[in-house]
Structure 1
Amino acid sequence: MHGPDARARIVIASRLYEPEAGAAAFRIAAVARALGRDHDVTVLTTRPPAGSPDEPGTGPIRVSRAPVLRDRSGAIRGYLQYLSFDIPLFVRLLLRGRADVMVAEAPPTTGLVTLLAARLTRSRFVYYPGDVWTDGMIAMGASGLLVRIMRAVESLVVRRADLLIAVSPEIIGRFAALGARVERVAEVGNGIDVDVFGHGVEPMPAERPYFVYTGTMSEWQRPELFVEALALLGDEGRSVDLRFFGQGASEAAVRESAERLLPGRVMMTGWVPPAVAARWISGAVGALVSIVPGIGYDFARPTKTYAAAAAGTPVLFAGPETGAAVVRDAGLGETVPFDAVAVAQAMRRLLEADRAGETERLRARRSAWAADTVSLRAVGERAAAAVLGALRGPRRRGG
């Protein structure tokens, strides 16, 4: 880039990208769109899983897709799957040659590959993960040796990056714990597409009231908690359903709990396009969000919360204080400990609020909060500004 008005050449490496759904795909697409208005942007990503909707129009953004290994659910989850993206990615990046800046999404192995390619091609390097990857490994009980290896990789990536982009103040603290210099971190927040999920979306017709869970179903969310909670309502909850939209490692646990505790009342639809998920969220009594406390994700602020708020639907959050504070401080719904009895009591309160008309009365206010506070478009603009800011100053040579 040779002046303030020159078009920068930007390459983004992310294993997830639209039309796949998920916080990472949405976040990376938002920054790509913001950068693509004035600069030359290429996204190196994967072929979407079978059954995905048509790829959205990318405008001036060039999207290059390559095959990748996926698990049975269609997710890119597991070290073999990650490497099936990362190893070819290194070659793809080198073949692209020098860029003004290379941007990488998690996991740290993708960050490392992109960092190496950036240094070999004299490109600047920006790392934009949603969280600290090895915190999740510890939470999932990975072996100590594997955690130490990946922690070393992650530390190297965050220390050598020209810029780190963080989605929350808590992530900045985790970067610092890995050895990053806070002056190299830009906090941009996290958000949701308020045009897709916003107030005014037509609810999906349903014969019975229901609670909805959308997105990843993982061990660190343990969404089977909500099946256990609804079962505790007994006769009071017999006319209420649960609807799950998404995929993940906890799908089997949710199905087992559903068959044992609520046969015929738990619908598991798998992945659906965001616009369809938005309609189901809009018609729900409440949107379910959970974080298992004490296993390394206490700092998380799930985008499920923002999607529900954008639709004006109350959130039922079960988990630690960071995620609970978002819901409580903005008046977005109910916050309870990660406990089936407490969740059941919150479900009861939300059912009463729905019957009394309070849910509908508060819908516009909740949606307005989301539009003003967690617009993904605004997040993408801030992230794009940070990426372009990384072009100023010398390249980093060390930690």
Structure 2
Amino acid sequence: MDIWIINHYAVPPQVSGGTRHYDFGTELACRGHRVVLWLSTFNHHQRRFLSPAERQRAEEKSPPNLELKWIWSYPHRGNDWRRVLNMFTFSLLLLWHGMFRRKPDVILASSPHLLAPIAGWVLSLLGPSRFILEVRDLWPDALVAMGLRNRPAIWLMRKMELFLYYRSQKIIVLSEGIRERLIARGISPDRVILIPNGVYLERYRILHSPETVRHTFGFNGRFVCLYAGAIGPINGLEVVIKAAWLLRESPDFLFVLAGDGPERKRLEKMACEYSLANVKFLGSLSKEVLPSLLNAADVLLACSAPVELFRMVRPNKLFDYLAVGRPIVSNIDGETRKIIEDTGVGRHVRKDDPQAMVEGILYYYRHPEEYERVRENAWKFLRDHGDRRQHALLLEKVLCEPNHSSQEPSPA
């Protein structure tokens, strides 16, 4: 079967970012399908263009049946008009390049922004191809929660959102909360399929020794509290800097932030103003490096801004953290909290409370006997619920399912 996967922000494992769609493309290609992954030459996480050598390396490491189709998009540094232009240019060029190619049997188009899925839907009409939407984030709800007040923009995105919901054969979601939200909006439960985030467990079986990694990054002799992921407003990372300030007098503790984003410079300035010698920023790391770094930490930190909508999120980093079996200290409520507490892999702490975060960290500092239990619990959860190979089998079933039903009528 010929499959197109569209994700503006998809990356191969050699580059910083989420590899969900590259991994799915790899699995589908290895199962005999011909897959084209449409992705951008501009890396959203690092705010830079990938070099021709980087793109060539990714292509050489991909299986024969997986084609990486790189689309240029306008560069941006923050959440201004340039980022909007970045979305428009990717989507328009996707439409242009896609028009002149033989159409696939099915197109899977992923959010969060809605322009690329709209382009994917248009291309599906030219096939005709089956069209499947993946909702990784609820737009415009997430933007409104983060402060968007432009009513015409919100109205337009709401119309685009509903348009896509009612014109897709199936809708793939990443969390139960998003699934329930769509069903509450009138989408048939049979059309909404949960395929959560997960990890390639094989990437975490062969790791560099923690001692080697700790020496490389200068962690020797410290109790390392590591956050790995995007550094933006939605991540609420001020609390990490404030927790580091509370432990500034103890030489044992080191707070490490591995990632990049629009908030990084502000947090670096904040750490400098506090004269914190126990905070280190590493920048973005690829999926090839990240597992060994996580495995070298003592405690892993998961944070978000105090936004109600994030209760229905299962962030990528949660599954990366689980894969190394290190204790997690998290202030993310909802589904993330339920997984951490039910699985017994960490402690949930109050949001925006650096003292609570410190107490969570100190618990594992004082109870090293907990580590083996955490590791066993984490791996059991991933084997049962977070194995990306198993998720790829479910995706294959969804993609191969004939379109027996017509789309539901759009609401008036």
Q: TM-score, normalised by structure 1?
A: 0.89
C-alpha deviation, 1:253, in angstroms: 3.0
Check whether the contact 2:345–2:375 (CA below 8 A) recurs between aligned residues.
no
**2:370 is aligned with what amino acid?**
E
Check whether the contact 1:291–1:298 (CA below 8 A) recurs between aligned residues.
no
Check whether the contact 1:227–1:262 (CA below 8 A) recurs between aligned residues.
no
> Which 5+ residue runs of structure 2 have no aligned equivalent?
44-48
CA distance in 2, matches of 1:225, 1:311: 24
Q: Label 1:160 to 1:75 Cα distance change in 2 as closer, same or farther (>3 A).
A: same
Per-residue CA distance 1:23-55 (angstroms, 9 max, x = gap): 3xx221232123222222112222253475831
C-alpha deviation, 1:367, in angstroms: 2.9
Q: Label 1:267 to 1:156 Cα distance change in 2 as closer, same or farther (>3 A).
A: same
CA distance in 2, matches of 1:77, 1:193: 34
Check whether the contact 2:9–2:39 (CA below 8 A) recurs between aligned residues.
yes
Counterpart of 2:268 in structure 1 is 255
The answer to whether the aligner puts 1:116 opposite 2:122 as a matched pair is yes
Counterpart of 2:370 in structure 1 is 358
| Percent of pairs with identical residues | 20
Q: 1:149 aligns with which of 145, 156, 167?
A: 156
Counterpart of 1:185 in structure 2 is 192
The answer to whether the aligner puts 1:32 opposite 2:25 as a matched pair is yes
Q: Label 1:303 to 1:310 Cα distance change in 2 as closer, same or farther (>3 A).
A: same
**1:28 is aligned with what amino acid?**
H
Q: Which moved more, 1:293-302 or 1:73-82?
A: 73-82
C-alpha deviation, 1:111, in angstroms: 1.0
Alignment of 1:98-113 (within 5 A): 98-106=103-111, 107-113=113-119
CA distance in 1, matches of 2:271, 2:329: 19
Q: Label 1:217 to 1:257 Cα distance change in 2 as closer, same or farther (>3 A).
A: same
Q: Label 1:361 to 1:176 Cα distance change in 2 as closer, same or farther (>3 A).
A: closer
Other structure's SS at 1:160 match: coil
Counterpart of 1:55 in structure 2 is 58
Counterpart of 1:216 in structure 2 is 230
Counterpart of 1:381 in structure 2 is 393
The answer to whether the aligner puts 1:265 opposite 2:278 as a matched pair is yes
Q: 2:334 aligns with which of 321, 327, 351?
A: 321
Per-residue CA distance 1:141-173 (angstroms, 9 max, x = gap): 112221221111111111111111111211112
Counterpart of 1:239 in structure 2 is 252
The answer to whether the aligner puts 1:290 opposite 2:303 as a matched pair is yes
Check whether the contact 1:27–1:380 (CA below 8 A) recurs between aligned residues.
no
CA distance in 2, matches of 1:372, 1:295: 28
Check whether the contact 1:158–1:178 (CA below 8 A) recurs between aligned residues.
no
Counterpart of 1:44 in structure 2 is 38
CA distance in 2, matches of 1:74, 1:268: 22
Check whether the contact 2:345–2:377 (CA below 8 A) recurs between aligned residues.
no
Q: Label 1:44 to 1:200 Cα distance change in 2 as closer, same or farther (>3 A).
A: closer
Per-residue CA distance 1:326-368 (angstroms, 9 max, x = gap): 1000011111111212111111112222xx3432564344334
Per-residue CA distance 1:240-262 (angstroms, 9 max, x = gap): 11111112222133212221235
Counterpart of 1:3 in structure 2 is none
> Which 5+ residue runs of structure 1 have no aligned equivalent?
1-7
C-alpha deviation, 1:292, in angstroms: 2.2
Per-residue CA distance 1:348-397 (angstroms, 9 max, x = gap): 112222xx3432564344334323321122222212221112x3425548
C-alpha deviation, 1:125, in angstroms: 0.4
**1:42 is aligned with what amino acid?**
V
Q: 2:172 aligns with which of 165, 173, 188?
A: 165
C-alpha deviation, 1:176, in angstroms: 2.9
Counterpart of 1:5 in structure 2 is none
Check whether the contact 2:131–2:169 (CA below 8 A) recurs between aligned residues.
yes
Q: TM-score, normalised by structure 2?
A: 0.86
* 4+ runs deviating over 4 angstroms: 73-77, 198-201
Q: Label 1:373 to 1:319 Cα distance change in 2 as closer, same or farther (>3 A).
A: same
The answer to whether the aligner puts 1:132 opposite 2:138 as a matched pair is yes
CA distance in 1, matches of 2:363, 2:80: 35
Check whether the contact 1:198–1:367 (CA below 8 A) recurs between aligned residues.
no
C-alpha deviation, 1:286, in angstroms: 0.7
Per-residue CA distance 1:55-107 (angstroms, 9 max, x = gap): 16221111111222232389998211111200111112221243211111112
Check whether the contact 1:46–1:66 (CA below 8 A) recurs between aligned residues.
yes
Q: Label 1:311 to 1:199 Cα distance change in 2 as closer, same or farther (>3 A).
A: farther
Other structure's SS at 1:297 match: helix
The answer to whether the aligner puts 1:367 opposite 2:379 as a matched pair is yes
Q: Label 1:294 to 1:64 Cα distance change in 2 as closer, same or farther (>3 A).
A: closer
Other structure's SS at 1:78 match: helix
Other structure's SS at 2:291 match: helix
C-alpha deviation, 1:198, in angstroms: 4.7
Counterpart of 2:314 in structure 1 is 301
Check whether the contact 1:243–1:266 (CA below 8 A) recurs between aligned residues.
yes
Q: Label 1:371 to 1:232 Cα distance change in 2 as closer, same or farther (>3 A).
A: same
Q: How many pairs does the alignment contain?
A: 386
C-alpha deviation, 1:287, in angstroms: 0.7
Counterpart of 2:46 in structure 1 is none
Other structure's SS at 1:235 match: coil
